[in-house]
Amino acid sequence: MAEKKIARSKITRRSFLAGAVAAPAAFSIVPAHVLGGPDAPSETFGAALIGVGSRGPSTFKELSSRHGLNVRKLAECDVRWVGKADNKTKYTDFRRVLERKDIDIVAIATPPNWHALISIAAMEAGKDVMCEKPMTHAISEGRAVINASKRYGRVFQIGTYGRFGIARSDGNRQLRKLLRAGFAKGREVRYVRRGGFKVKQWSGPVKVAPQAPPDWLDWDMYCGPSPVKPYQSPRFGGMHRGYWDYEGGGLCDMGQHALDPITYLLGKDHTAPVEIETHGPPAHPEATGMWGWSKLKYADGLELVLESGEWGEPTGLKKVMMGADDLTEQERARLAKLPDPEPLIGFGEAVKTRKQPGGHAEAAHRTVCLIHLTNISLRVGRKIRFDPVTEQIVGDEQANRLVNQPMRGPWRL
């Protein structure tokens, strides 16, 4: 038995496939159970971590600790390893990592301006993706990630898990079912989320002298699709969250955590709000700053209110929810005929069964859109209207230029 386990542990999914394709195989994806059943503990996945900064090691560790995957770390990549990379286990260029045929799973923990490009390239290379939050840097990037996931049948999971906890409750699942079916229409339904956005903490400092980038840092690669600006130390290593070029402030840092369970509960992870108004001071061109509240209204009238609790006066609005008791008899009959929400599966199970996990690309995209739309409304300083189907802002060309932000060449979606 011990001997068998050792033998299996030497097999990665790809090395198995390499043998399998010698035969005239008709399959396109080999289910993991071929290697010895879905629970086979010895099934080993080759894995890589791209972005090894403060968050990266935890992200990678979760592949095994949270998702129960037996992974072997074959490569790490970080732009801070100039002169140290051996291009065998340590890389500075993610493209060299994605070329490797022995890697099945890629964990991405770079700053968010890189998330979409690396996620897409990884899925094009046939890897499954675990990507840190926030999923993207701009709205247009999300659809491209979703399309890549669908096109190649790759698993994508965002690195936040609030919805898994919420979905355990039968009451929450029933509320999701009710709200997703559109029963909020014509009723007052409002969800208010107060605090926890670290707005001040991740506001970018403006008073910083530029300096030469450290010689161990590939500054051009770090900036990637974003404009290359003179190096200022807070732009790198955590405080990057405070600059529009790489992230979008505390809301981008914490928002996907806060809103992931909410979009599940409200049944809004397949659509987007149609009207968004954010209250705050005028935004700075480089550094993210303060905001007080944001009101996001969906087509069915359901309102989501975010309050930072860190700037200006609160809205004074209260949470108003509904339940099956508020429905008419006819509505209850209609609701009863609708299917219950499907149970969410984790990344580990998704990788093994080739199903999409609970935090799949569409759900992650619809959640991060709330963050991006709030920031766009803040940055243009006015109420905006959004079309959830075309994913464009309606009647405001300037605001639309923040939906699809041109990338610095040669990078493109």
Partner 1 sequence: MPAPKNIEQLVNELPELDKRGKVDGPTREVGYKLFDALLAAGGAGVAGVVAMIHEVDDGADYKARYALRGMTMRAGSPGQGKQRAKLAGALCEQLGKNLPVTTKNFLLGELQFVAGAESVGTLGGALGDETLFDRAMAALLAIGGDAVAAQFRGELAGATGRRRVAIVTGLGELKDKAAISELRKAVGAGETKVAAMCALANLGDAGSADLLLKAAAAATEFERIKATSACLLLAEACAAAGDKSTARRIYRRLHDTCGGPDEQHVRAAAADGLKG
Name the residues that contact partner 1, by CB under 8 A. Answer: 14, 17-18, 20-21, 28-30, 95-96, 98-99, 101, 121, 123-126, 151-154, 200, 203-210, 227-230, 242, 279-287, 289-290, 312, 379-382, 395-398, 401-402, 405-406, 408-410, 412
Query: Where in 19-145 does DSSP place strands (E)?
Result: 44-50, 70-77, 90-91, 105-108, 128-131
Q: Pick left, alpha or beta for residue 87 (phi over 0 → left; psi -120 to 50 → alpha; otherwise beta).
A: left
Q: How far is the CB of 125 from partner 1 (least distance, A)?
A: 5
Q: Whose Cβ is closer to partner 1: residue 297's or residue 379's? A: 379
CB-based contacts of 142: which residues, under 8 Å, 6+ apart?
Answer: 116, 135, 136, 361, 364, 365, 368, 369
CB-based contacts of 314: which residues, under 8 Å, 6+ apart?
Answer: 194, 292, 293, 307
Q: Whose Cβ is closer to partner 1: residue 165's or residue 314's? A: 314
Q: Which residue has the tokens 């998702």?
A: 67
> CA-to-CA distance for 125 and 118, rounded, in angstroms?
10
Q: How far is the CB of 38 from partner 1 (least distance, A)?
A: 20
Q: How far is the CB of 396 from partner 1 (least distance, A)?
A: 5
Q: Whose Cβ is closer to partner 1: residue 203's or residue 356's? A: 203
Q: How far is the CB of 280 from partner 1 (least distance, A)?
A: 7
Q: How far is the CB of 131 from partner 1 (least distance, A)?
A: 18
Q: How far is the CB of 11 from partner 1 (least distance, A)?
A: 12
Q: Whose Cβ is closer to partner 1: residue 155's or residue 370's? A: 155
> CA-to-CA distance for 154 and 348, rounded, in angstroms?
13
Pairing of strands 384-387, 275-279: antiparallel
Q: How far is the CB of 112 from partner 1 (least distance, A)?
A: 18
The verdict on whether omega for the bond into residue 214 sits within 30 degrees of 0, i.e. cis, is no
**172: helix, strand or coil:** helix
User: How many CA atoms lie within 13 Å of 216's alpha carbon, on the beta-carbon side?
Assistant: 6
Q: How far is the CB of 277 from partner 1 (least distance, A)?
A: 11
Q: Whose Cβ is closer to partner 1: residue 104's or residue 132's? A: 104
Q: Whose Cβ is closer to partner 1: residue 238's or residue 406's? A: 406
Q: Whose Cβ is closer to partner 1: residue 102's or residue 331's? A: 102
Listed residue (361, 308, 312) closest to 123, CA to CA: 361
Q: Whose Cβ is closer to partner 1: residue 178's or residue 306's? A: 306
Contact 269, 367 (CB under 8 A): yes
Q: Which residue has the tokens 């605090």?
A: 195
> CA-to-CA distance for 269 and 116, rounded, in angstroms?
19
> CA-to-CA distance for 363 and 348, rounded, in angstroms?
18
